[in-house]
């Protein structure tokens, strides 16, 4: 059994400039740790229930 998980409108940008430590101008997503925790929870929950997930990034995912 597969379950579909759809996330949308994340507006992921380039993050931080490694040299300056400042965010790039178009960066609009500041929830890296929260999203990581969400993905870990999805995987753990699916494993506990014995299902496979399909993760879909829908619309306005990347702002590069």
9 pLDDT above the threshold of 80: yes
Name the domain count of the chain.
1
How confident is the model over 5-9, as a mean pLDDT? 96
Residue 33's Cβ-side half-sphere holds a number of Cα atoms within 13 Å equal to 0
Q: What is the pLDDT of residues 21-59, one digit of tens each?
A: 999 988 888 999 999 999 999 999 999 999 999 999 999
Q: Which residue has the higher pLDDT, 6 or 27?
A: 6
How confident is the model over 13-19, as a mean pLDDT? 91
Q: Is residue 64 part of a domain?
A: no
1 pLDDT above the threshold of 80: no
Pseudo-torsion of CA 15, 18, 23, 27, nearest 10°? -20
Range of the domain at 29: 2-58
Residue 8's Cβ-side half-sphere holds a number of Cα atoms within 13 Å equal to 3
């Amino acid at each position: 059994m597969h379950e579909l998980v759809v996330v949308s409108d994340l507006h992921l940008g380039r993050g931080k400039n490694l040299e300056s430590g400042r965010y790039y101008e178009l960066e609009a997503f500041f929830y890296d740790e929260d999203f990581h925790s969400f993905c870990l929870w999805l995987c753990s929950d699916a494993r506990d229930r014995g299902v496979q997930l399909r993760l879909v990034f829908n619309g306005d995912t990347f702002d590069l």
